[in-house]
Structure 1
């Protein structure tokens, strides 16, 4: 009967990905795989592994196959209805949290929440905050609400397009967003994991700046005086985003680089 050791010789997947799939199939930690690599495998487990292996070989992201992705130290459930949380987006959370330091009972808005990773991470790290999150997709909000319940985060979720999800709501100390910012003509939309992710969460179908314009131009009417807005954007959009912020009444406008040294998050304080 086959065992993990013999199966590893037959698989063309990278070792780490193979281990992740076996952990998912057998519902065991990695340490168990190492200690039991010669144990016989049940035929049903082998069939299930081969099914998942075929999906990965076809290019499907590991996060969708195993149904989760780590972000800010927590495992978030994901599905093809939401973007897969990425390490560079942790910078958006950290920037927002830095701004909230010392504020009592701040009101925070996350626009286009997807899996809820940003909103939930802020709520967990700043429990004094009231966090509100929106998304146009009902399927995405279902994933976000599930993550909120699982992780014990207090976040109120609303469905709608950007600020339209919260008509008349204002007085926010902080607004954050990781909107679709890839231009429709960008070749990266046909490469790697993004081929499987929801297009509406990746691209605005235009120049990559239209969602950012809506968010920036509408922020002043929703923020408190001296409230802050921070947005994630593309590798070549920092200057354009800074100009948008400056032209709509924001001061102290600045960009922050991600771990690759690319300006990834830009924001400012509303005067």
Structure 2
């Protein structure tokens, strides 16, 4: 018999999510989604609710390692909430390091006027930057039709469709220089062991980049000198063990490079300047 109270249902669900680093949080997000309320409201009024049948189905799907963001259709990132679905990488807090690096670069100024997001996916980096700098406009580029659709939906939902252009393309650039270039390329080694919720659910094209995980950096490095405007910056995500190897590729292209760490103290972002 299913647990009869929300508190018991949450506890039972969390016990099934032992593969997750946040089993209780996962359960709370799924129950709130099933009830069509926020997690905050759920926690403040937990005893006021009954457990809907939809929760059981969500628990079963999460127990099969389906990402919570795909189940709820949403993910918080920086100052925005994004629509997320299969076909795009789930935005991660680690990627906020790129926005932090951009904020630091433009501190004391009016910020970037033009933003480019290469491999935009859900539009997370582009739209977070446009939310940070309301007078800026930008372009998001992606090769995936699914990603382009989701990024455009997010731009519309966030009221940024007039400032965010989302276009099809790969690592060929746009032929124009931008004040801020953002990029979270694939950087995982082809034979790397990944959690099932990543390996089995998220798009491989957004994850893997050759035997050493550096293939996409090799394509990006020659592109960037023409894409960064004078005084501008590119903030590029890296794997935690790739800092100096990835940086060397951009230095070889004549660019200045510093490595920025995330909140866990791990190398996470190349800060690239002309």
State the alpha-carbon separation in 2 of the partners of residues 105 and 174 from structure 1: 6
Partner of 1:218: 223
Q: Secondary structure at the match of 1:149?
A: helix
Alignment correspondent of 2:102? 96
**Partners of 2:24 and 2:246 in 1: how far apart?**
41
Distance of 1:181 and 1:57 partners within structure 2: 27
Structure 2 residue 145 is matched with structure 1 residue 138: yes
Which secondary structure state, in structure 1, belongs to the residue aligned with residue 223 of structure 2? helix
- Confirm or deny: 8 A CA contact 1:230 1:268 kept in the other structure: yes
Match of 1:209 in 2: 214
Using the size of structure 1 for normalisation, the TM-score is 0.87
Deviation at 1:29, TM superposition (A): 3.0
| Preserved CA contact (<8 Å) 2:7 2:46 | no
Question: Do structure 1's residue 75 and structure 2's residue 91 form an aligned pair?
Answer: no
- 1:17 equivalent in alignment to 2:26: yes
Change (3 A) 1:219 1:6: closer
Aligned counterparts of 1:33 and 1:95: Cα–Cα separation in 2: 34
The 3 A distance-change label for structure 1 pair 136 and 50 is same
Deviations 1:143-171 (A, max 9, x none): 1111111112221111111225x3xx312
Question: Which consecutive residues of structure 1, in runs of 5 or more, have no partner in the other structure?
Answer: none
Q: Contact between 1:111 and 1:175, CA under 8 Å: does it hold in 2? A: yes
Distance 1:238 1:9, change over 3 A: closer
Q: Distance in 1 between matches of 2:11 and 2:183?
A: 44
1:49 match: 55
TM-score by length of 2: 0.86
Equivalent of 1:263, from 262, 267, 272? 267
* 2:165 corresponds to: 156
Compared with structure 1, are the counterparts of its residues 4 and 177 closer, same or farther at alpha carbon in structure 2 (3 Å cutoff)? same
Q: Secondary structure at the match of 1:196?
A: coil
User: Is residue 2:44 matched to residue 1:37?
Assistant: no
Which consecutive residues of structure 2, in runs of 5 or more, have no partner in the other structure?
17-22
2:90 equivalent among 84, 90, 107? 84
Q: Distance in 2 between matches of 1:127 and 1:38?
A: 40
Q: How big is the shift at 1:137?
A: 0.5
Name the Cα RMSD after superposition: 2.2
Computing the radius of gyration over CA atoms, which structure comes out larger, 1 or 2? 1
Task: Give me the whole-angstrom Cα distance separating, in 1, the residues matched to 2:112 and 2:188.
Answer: 34
- Cα deviation 1:200-220 (Å, max 9, x = unaligned): 001124421111111111111
Given that 2:112 and 2:180 are in contact with CA atoms closer than 8 Å, whether structure 1 keeps it comes out as no
Distance 1:23 1:269, change over 3 A: same
Residues 239 and 65 (structure 1 numbering): CA distance in 2 closer, same or farther, change over 3 Å? same
- Taking a change above 3 Å as real, the CA distance of residues 57 and 254 of structure 1, as seen in their structure-2 partners, is same
Distance 1:194 1:70, change over 3 A: farther
1:217–1:103 CA distance, 2 compared to 1 (3 A)? farther
